[in-house]
Amino acid sequence: MSYVITPASYSAVPVANNNEYNEQFPIHRIYCVGRNYAAHAREMGGSPEREPPFFFCKPADAIVPVPAGESIALAYPSETSNYHHEIELVVAIGKGGKNIPEKHAHDHIWGYAVGLDMTRRDLQTALREKGQPWELAKAFDQSAPIAPLYPVSRIGHPKAGSIWLKVNGEMRQAGRVEQMIWPVTEIISHLSRYFTLLPGDLIFTGTPSGVGPVIVGDTLLGGIDGLGEIAVHSIAA
Ligand code: MN
């Protein structure tokens, strides 16, 4: 038995370890939560009420690992003229499960990282108006840059702290992790009713308000208290 084409390789995120990235976390799936901060829900024209969370996915190979202290180039995506940044807390699942009760959700988390849910906002708006799926707007190449992963064994479970993003040195997004409408434990419990979570799954947990356009030449720097920073810059395709 042999493969008839060369199989794709696993995407992986390095584990934060004093810049010696000899440990990698392999990615299975990427789940994303929509509108999980009230101020962002309002800026997207939605209700800040506590409605059930909704989810979309990105392919595992949308990941762009960004080493600490480096800036990685992102090619401006095709077929958009309104490419947006969304800074997000990312949860890495280390132990799988389904129908996970909230009180056990923390047991399934391997670590946390800072990530970016890059978005073709013009397409997202058009697709939403037509009731069509969001893949073209959310699941494109390089749409999920992520900084090194911090293990729970080292940092515990961050429950509060600032989450922010600057474009060309100017603050654009500034929120607090504890402002999430659906906290991480509830997200895991809810998501695991619909999907069997497996080790290697990532969950992007939504973005605070202040999302906005990225143009060629822009530099983005974001961070979350206790999880370091992520830096990328936009280049022409
Ligand atoms: Mn998002």
Mean pLDDT is lowest, of 43-52, 97-106, 166-175, 228-237, for: 43-52
Write down the pLDDT at residue 186.
96
Band of residue 140 on the pLDDT scale cut at 50, 70, 90:
very high
What is residue 127's DSSP assignment?
A: H
CA 36 / ligand 1 centre spacing (Å) = 8
What does the radius of gyration of the chain's CA atoms come to, in whole angstroms? Answer: 17
Q: What is the pTM of this model?
A: 0.96
Compute the distance between CA of residue 142 and CA of residue 235 in angstroms, rounded to an integer. 12
Tell me how far the alpha carbon of residue 205 lies from the centroid of ligand 1, in angstroms: 7
Q: Is the per-residue pLDDT at 53 higher than 90?
A: no
Distance from C-alpha of 94 to C-alpha of 108, rounded to nearest angstrom: 6
Distance 99 CA to ligand 1 centre (A): 24
In this prediction, residue 43 carries a pLDDT of 87
Write down the pLDDT at residue 228. 97
Mean pLDDT over residues 10-14, rounded? 94
pLDDT of residue 235: 98
Neighbours of 88 (CB within 10 A): 28
Instruction: Report how far ligand 1's centroid is from the alpha carbon of 207 (Å).
Output: 5
pLDDT, tens digit (0-9, with 9 covering 90-100), for 15-50: 998 666 689 999 999 999 999 998 888 888 887 677
What fold does the segment set 12-235 form as a domain?
Answer: Fumarylacetoacetate hydrolase; domain 2 (3.90.850)
- DSSP class of residue 48? -
> What average pLDDT does range 67-84 have in this prediction?
97
**Burial class of residue 3, CB neighbours in 10 A (0-12, 13-18, 19+):** exposed
Q: How far apart are the CA of 189 and the centre of ligand 1, in A? A: 19
Residue 135 Cα to ligand 1 midpoint, Å, equals 13
pLDDT digits (tens, 9 = 90+) for 194-224: 999 999 999 999 999 999 999 999 999 999 9
Each residue's pLDDT tens digit, 83-130: 999 999 999 999 999 999 999 999 999 999 999 999 999 999 999 999
Task: Quote the ligand 1 centre to 155 CA distance (angstroms).
Answer: 24
Confidence of residue 175 (pLDDT cuts 50, 70, 90): very high
Delimit the domains of the chain by residue range. Answer: 12-235
Q: Are strands 71-75 and 202-204 parallel, antiparallel or unpaired?
A: unpaired
How close is the Cα of 118 to the center of ligand 1, in Å? 8
Residue 133 reports pLDDT greater than 70: yes
Cβ 88 vs Cβ 204: under 8 Å? yes
Between 159 and 165, residue with greater pLDDT: 165
Token output for 92: 């890495």
| Closest to 165 measured CA to CA, from 122, 211, 125, 133 | 211
pLDDT at 1 over 90: no
What's the CA-to-centroid distance between 203 and ligand 1, angstroms? 10
**C-beta of residue 27 within 8 angstroms of C-beta of residue 200:** yes
